[in-house]
Amino acid sequence: MKKVLVLCSVAALLLACATNPFTGKKTMAFVPDSSLFASSFQQYSTFIKENKVVTGTSDAQMVQRVGAKIKSASEQWLKANGYSNYLKDYKWEYKLVQDNTVNAWCMPGGKIVVYTGLMKIAQGEAGLATVMGHEVAHALANHGQQRMSAGLLQQLVGAGVAVGTSEMNMSKETQELAMGAYGAGSNVFGMMPFSRKHESEADRIGLILMAIAGYNPDNATSFWQRMSAQSGSKTPELLSTHPSDQTRIANIKKLIPEAKAEAAKFGKKY
């Protein structure tokens, strides 16, 4: 009976799919946007209350300006491709937060934070547009929703492995070894490649958005080169949730012509 319940749960999870307009692919959507966005907005509100938001400076104004242009680019692309209502539940905000960490993020539903530590690497609007376009792309491609769904799937399959090893009358030690092997294997060969794929998708979509927003996507190469130069020791790509710097930069160079071609449809020539 346990095995049947696990298999039924996995089947239901696999059937809960949605087609994303930016990738054209069916993706796992076990967690609905209504629940995801509500949780995201609550977490964002808590974060903003607990951290120092920078306002009135030239950098803060730049974050607002670039964010508005990326948002507009998203709306233009979606409208042109027949998805005018896709962003109806998004509640966009762009905040610069005092933190020396070289990072930025966009939560599901359009809540964007840029840390002050990133600004020295951005070196202007084009660099900032590169990273903000990338982070917004994660939200537009529903990567957060997919990661949560994949995590649930990983847990369900893990439950299946536990049930299977139990019914095979394995010793406790053998069962623990099997579960350990599943956990390591599902991360290295499942979740991590899944995450690296998301990073590459966000690079592609982000390049298109920055180009439509009016920023030459050629600038993305130099931005990621600066990011690579400032980072310390690197985790091997196989064991990382992100592509290696070399892989990412090489892929971006290949994707730039597509971004320029998409931007040309909206009157932007580079």
Band (pLDDT 50/70/90 cuts) for residue 6 is very low
pLDDT at residue 224 tops 60? yes
Alpha carbons 164 and 172: distance in angstroms, whole number: 13
Selected catalytic residue, list 135, 199, 201, 262: 135
pLDDT at residue 12 tops 80? no
| pLDDT digit string, tens, across residues 204-222 | 999 999 999 999 999 999 9
pLDDT recorded at residue 216: 98
Altogether, the residues listed in the chain come to a count of: 270
Q: What is the mean pLDDT of the chain?
A: 78
What average pLDDT does range 81-94 have in this prediction?
92
Q: What is the CA radius of gyration of the chain?
A: 21
Q: What is the DSSP letter of 30?
A: -
pTM of the predicted structure, to 2 decimals: 0.74
What average pLDDT does range 186-195 have in this prediction?
42
Task: Give yes or no: 75 in active site.
Answer: no
pLDDT at residue 55 tops 60? yes
pLDDT recorded at residue 166: 55
Q: Helix 33-50 and helix 143-167: axis angle, to 10°?
A: 110
What is the percent of the chain with per-residue pLDDT over 90, rounded to a whole number? 50
Q: Which of 9-13, 152-156, 203-207 shows the highest mean pLDDT?
A: 203-207
Question: What one-character-per-residue DSSP string does 57-114 give?
Answer: SHHHHHHHHHHHHHHHHHHHHHHHTT-TTTTTT---EEEEE---S--EEEETTTEEEE
Alpha carbons 190 and 153: distance in angstroms, whole number: 11
pLDDT at residue 157 tops 60? no
pLDDT recorded at residue 37: 86
pLDDT recorded at residue 180: 45
CB atoms within 10 A of CB 42: 10
Band (pLDDT 50/70/90 cuts) for residue 240 is low
